[in-house]
Structures are given as C-alpha cells and as structure tokens.
Amino acid sequence: MHSQITELENAFKEELSQTDTSDGSAIEILRLKYLGKKGLVTDLLKGMGQLSAEEKPTFGKLVNDLKVSVQTAIETAQEIAKKAALARSLESGKIDISLPGEGYHKGSTHPLYDIREEVIDFFYGMGFKVDLGRDIETDWYNFEALNTPKDHPSRDMQDTFYLAEGVMLRTHTSGTQIHYMENHKPPLRMVALGHVFRVDSDATHAPMFQQCEGLVVDENISFAQLKGTLSLFAKKLFGENIKTRFRPSFFPFTEPSAELDVSCVFCGGAGCRRCKGTGWMEIGGCGSVDPAVFANVGIDSEKYTGFAFGFGLDRIAMLRHHIPEISLLTSNDQRFLGQF
C-alpha cells in the first residue's frame, strides 16, 4: 500500500516536471488526472474501504498528505500559468508609439471654387453686382439679342447642345448681359458666373466649363476703362508681374472686340512649348458693347456706352496650377484634388 502511494507521488512529480507550466489547460488536465472525481489520488482514497481498521488511520494520513502536496503543486503551477498568460497578453497588446500614425485626408476647396470666389471678391470690391444667370437659354438670349441672327456665321464658333427648337444649354454667359439690361437701367456694373456648354472635347476643351461674364454700362465708358479693369484683374489672378495684351478679334456683340492674352505663366513670356513659342496665352474675350445690342434691350446708345468681357474659369485654373488636362477639374479624383 505504501509503495503505491510513493509510486503515485513519483509519477505525479515526473508528469508535473514535463508539463508546460505556462499552459493553463495542460495543468488542468494534470489536475483532473490526479484530483478529479475519477482521479488517481481520489481512487486511492476510495480503495481505503477494503483496509483493516488499524491500517486505515496511517494510510489515510499518507494519502491525505499526498493529496495536499499534489494540490499545492497544482496551485503553484496554476499561479505560474496565470502570470504567463498575463505576460503574453501584455506583450501582444503592446502599442509601439514610435510607429507612424494612420494619417487622414484633409478636405480643401476646389481650385475652380477658389477662382470663383476671387473673381467675385475682385469685382464686388469695384462695385459690380453678382448674377448667376441660368443654364438653359432661349435663342433670343444666347444669340439673337447678342446681335447673332440665325444665319450669322459666328454661330458656328460655338457648337450648341439644343434641348428643343430654340431652347439650348447656354454656350456662353453673355446671355446674362441681356437679362440684366432688360431688368436694370444704366448705370450698371455686373459680373455673372456659371457653367456653359459646347459640343467640344479635347485636352483643353470640355463640353461643360465655367465662365465669368462682365458688363459695365454708363455714360462715357471707354475701351481704356476696359483695358484698365482687365489688366488689374489679370494681376489679381496671376500676380504683379503678369503682362497683358489686347489682340484685335471679333464677337458679334462687341465692337471693337479683343482677345485678352496674358504673358505665358510657364516661361514668363520667353516662348515655350505650352504657349507654342508665342510667349502669350489667351484667357478671354472682350470689347465695347455693340450699339445693336443696346437697341435690343432699349438702351439709348447715343447716351450710353459700355464694355463686356468673358473668361473661362477652367482656363484660368489650368494656367494658375499648371493643370495639363481640363477634364481633371471635373474628375472628382482624390489624388488630383488633394494637391490643392
């Protein structure tokens, strides 16, 4: 009987020494094997029934001692396992504060929006009223009242998206001039900003782009004032060093008419690939209001004169930010927009 106890004790010690004490479940298996309801130590206690009355106390004490020592050893091992588990979870949950953060995307305003705001700011400061006009115009506002009758060859300059007979997506913001003069008496100063639409598409032309229109009507308004206003505007957009050039041109609604060029923003005017070697880049059209336009809106051209201009905002944005493709401006591409 005694040897059975010693054997069991040795077997336990042997097994314990081979158990991974950092592994709680391995210790639990060992505990059940020895101390569980059908465990080896429990079995010994159960077997005591067959012993004689004299043997029982000594044997009982020895088995009990064994049970206590097994229990103590198991508890010690469980403590170790618990600590090991804690150490493991601390290790795996460790935060390396030296690692770079996840980063975030900062929102910014669209380059076209910024230019719009600047244009409004500039002209508002000079006493111009701001009008948005409308995207859909009739033939009268988009062409006819602007001195462009149906058979006028200049209609070919702007390929039109027609919505119905005589109704179209506006091809320019100039129709806003007519609406404005129909509803306001001179003296008047206004700028209109908005989308315009043309059947056109390549690297620098899009079927939809934005224009800014300007109109000034008063007594004694001259071409010199137009030049002064737009030269200042160009400086505001491109900086003090920009040079301007008014190149004779034609628009049915202005006479005389001019194209406004600014010195090339890429080469400073020396001539490069972007300005096709000319040193200049076109940003818009302008001119003195044609008396025929005044006649269409009932303004006395003997008393009043005026000037008008129209710029492409997309073109200005492209020049200012060196954007190679106009379509990027409406691409909604985060990689593009994130640069502003």
Give the binding site for ligand PHE (CB under 6 A).
172, 174, 213, 251, 254, 285-287, 308-310
- Asked if residue 111 has a cis previous peptide bond (ω within 30° of 0), the answer is no
User: Which of 111/310 has CB closer to ligand PHE?
Assistant: 310
User: Which of 229/254 has CB closer to ligand PHE?
Assistant: 254
Considering the complex, what minimum distance in angstroms separates the CB of residue 254 from ligand PHE?
5
Structure tokens at 337: 């927009």
Sign, CA dihedral 331-335-339-340, equals positive
User: Which of 119/286 has CB closer to ligand PHE?
Assistant: 286
C-alpha distance from residue 18 to each of 6, 13, 15, 29, 299 (Å): 19, 9, 5, 13, 108
User: Which of 33/134 has CB closer to ligand PHE?
Assistant: 134
Considering the complex, what minimum distance in angstroms separates the CB of residue 308 from ligand PHE?
4
Considering the complex, what minimum distance in angstroms separates the CB of residue 124 from ligand PHE?
19
User: Which of 283/323 has CB closer to ligand PHE?
Assistant: 283
Alpha carbons within 13 angstroms on the beta-carbon side of residue 29 total 10
Considering the complex, what minimum distance in angstroms separates the CB of residue 232 from ligand PHE?
17
CA angle 291, 296, 298 (to 5 degrees): 90
Considering the complex, what minimum distance in angstroms separates the CB of residue 233 from ligand PHE?
14
Range 264-291 burial, b when 16+ CB lie within 10 A, else e: bbbeebeeeeebeeebbbbbbbbbbbbb
In the bound complex, which residue of the shown chain has the CB atom lying closest to ligand PHE?
310
